[in-house]
Structure 1
């Protein structure tokens, strides 16, 4: 019988205790995996933002509009390389649960600003620019709904209404783009601003935000200050931020997500630490005489120490791996849900953090019982029989 077999037999000696302890660890690591994945998804927009890209929004709130005339004024300013604008569509396909990240844009200037992020053939770019009803869709979105080039697709909006009272905008798929980086989602939809602006019942000649690239990232602060100074006394004063700061502002609307996640995971792991530590201490105390017999049979104190510590690691890794793998599986399922509002992922960093926590849990819950077993004298062990 190997040492590993002995460790497993001791762990599963009391099946109910083993199951409940493992389940508690499973819950802690399941929560950790889900919450960390959610946190990474929310922060992805800031982490993947371009260094030379700025976003101009209304100073009151980014949900308030800006005059479309601002785009040309910004484009003519020193330090600005390209400028474009985007209007949020609030779009969905057939049912509101099939949510789509949709924007109305100026095709040529949009592709100039985001040329490093959007990858598609030149002929599709040309077709999109020439057809006023044409749209670009991300490869992920096209795959989700089974769309192909040339399809006529009815896109609904929960914001914009047509003059005839309909909220359905018929568009033709002229391009299916991919992202230049694996971390960037390809799940957007971009239609012509002119098509939206001419037919909508309100908000004409206004846009949501203005995006621009600078000639040098070192000029970002200078350009941002110049833009805000130019419009500070207008009815639509602006706030100009880096793309990373603008994207992070969406997350900030939800509060300090990082603190919330750390608090929940910390509380769960602390509780599990107490449960598993108490379980290990109780288990070793119950087996005092057995440990004495093992030493009397020739087992070294260091061997007993390693076996007790191995039990703690066995519990931590058995429950932790099941919890982390389950969280990963749920994230993979969520990624394929049509219209799911976040691009979830389970990066390597989450796996590494989970493994690190398993090691810490194993050490903290097993070190003290293992040390007691190491120091246990034969006279003390048999005196408790």
Structure 2
């Protein structure tokens, strides 16, 4: 017990220096946690995607659509149970900064997404209204949308002002489900396009497929692509998760930069902590020599240094870890819901604790060795 008291008193001896060091550690651990949460949020869409759903798109690029006639041929492939249509709409609500996803989908689209919860009455209202739309709960919360509201969307890919009537609000099965999108009738979009630009009608962005056995997803994908091999519009079929990861891969350099910055922050605070511990050890050279003269060994002196470093890092790291969840919540609100899922994971908290421990141990190595090697005569000569 006396050892703990001695370590604690050493850590609090220079209160200003200790306070500033703890503050720096708190900010560093907090910054690391937020940056790591940003990376997790980037992958949230792919993580929530299902391996039981397949996505069929044009093999050349997602920019090129597929003919509507492919639907019946895909439905006839062995292992495929459901085929739904989806087109990216890409409209703007009032201002470009109010970006959110909009999809024109077939009426059976939600049958493939059990993670979306919608009251039966709202779904029936949606199916009856040609201009009806469904919006996610996160989107409704962000903009204050409610059932019955009319949402004007300025088309970019499909020009014009499109008015959609909110007929239902999609809730997520759990917190990991992203509900920040608007979906409306594919038939309504197709009919409108047929009137204005007939050559763009009967085109589908992607087909979403349900499979009878998820374990056979790879084989079903090959069968689907085999049907359209050497056609004018060959297909590429992959799991929904692989499809989502394809978008994430476009930002790999950004994600890598964020990861690098997060570890640079830890390295900087490690250097600061090492400097603080070195100063403390230098100031206590005489004390260490006195302890050696009284019979305390090098291991005891090294333990004092490591203990002081661990106490400081525990306080700073703990405060940083406690501050991360509220800071993440504030960040999510401040960014206007750019990241629909922005939650501090248990893994992030574990990494924060590991970083704090690494800083504590790394910063104390050199001062501990110096303290253990102090010579009694030279240490006592340093008095005054």
Contact residue 33 and residue 328 of structure 1 kept, 8 A: no
1:191 equivalent in structure 2: 184
Task: Determine the C-alpha separation between the residues in 2 that align with 1:262 and 1:98.
Answer: 28
Cα shift at 1:57: 1.3
> Among residues 287, 291, 300, which one is paired with 1:290 in the alignment?
287
Q: Secondary structure at the match of 2:95?
A: coil
Provide, for residues 241-284 of structure 1, a one-character-per-residue CA deviation record: whole Å limited to 9, x for no partner: 11111110001111255543443333333343334223312320
Aligned with 2:167 (options 169, 174, 192): 174
Please list the CA deviations of residues 9-42 of structure 1 after superposition, one character each: whole Å capped at 9, or x if unmatched: 2353xx3x55664565455434422221121112
Matched, 1:33 2:36: no
Kept after mapping to 2: 8 A contact 1:98/1:339: no
| Match runs of 1:88-127 below 5 Å | 88-107=88-107, 109-114=108-113, 116-127=114-125
Q: Quote the Cα distance in structure 1 between the aligned partners of 2:176 and 2:185.
A: 26
* Aligned residues of 1:99 and 1:339 also touching (Cα < 8 A): no
Aligned to 2:6: 3
Q: Could you tell me how far apart the structure 1 residues matched to 2:257 and 2:145 are?
A: 39
1:210 aligns with: 207
Partner-residue secondary structure (3-state), 2:13: helix
1:317-363 Cα distance to aligned partner (Å, 9 max, x none) = 34434555555444212323435255322111101110111111111
Residues 56-103 of structure 1 show CA distances to partners (whole Å, capped at 9, x for unaligned) of 111122232222222222122111011111111223432221112211
- Alpha-carbon separation, structure 1, partners of 2:78 and 2:127: 27
Moved more, 24-33 or 143-152: 24-33
Q: Are the aligned partners of 2:133 and 2:165 in contact in 1 as well (CA < 8 Å)?
A: yes
Please say if residues 79 and 211 of structure 2, whose CA atoms lie closer than 8 Å, have aligned partners that are also in contact.
yes
Aligned residue for 2:144? Answer: 146
Check the 8 A contact 2:11/2:312 in 1, yes or no.
no
Q: What corresponds to 1:243 in structure 2?
A: 240
Aligned counterparts, 1:311-350, within 5 A: 311-325=308-322, 327-336=324-333, 337-350=335-348
Partner of 2:252, secondary structure, is: coil
Distance 1:182 1:341, change over 3 A: closer
How many pairs align?
375
Corresponding position of 1:78: 78
Q: Distance in 1 between matches of 2:13 and 2:327?
A: 32
The answer to whether the Cα contact below 8 Å between 2:178 and 2:340 also exists between their aligned partners in 1 is no
- Give the match for residue 227 of structure 1: 224
TM-score by length of 1: 0.87
Distance 1:156 1:325, change over 3 A: farther
Provide the secondary structure at the position in 2 that maps to 1:239: strand
- Matched position secondary structure for 2:36: helix
Displacement of 1:307 = 3.5
Contact in 2 for aligned 1:7/1:310 (Cα 8 Å):
no
Q: Note if contact 2:30-2:324 (Cα within 8 Å) is conserved in structure 1.
A: yes
Distance in 2 (alpha carbons) for counterparts of 1:339 and 1:5? 43
Q: Is the 8 A contact 1:132 1:192 kept in 2?
A: yes
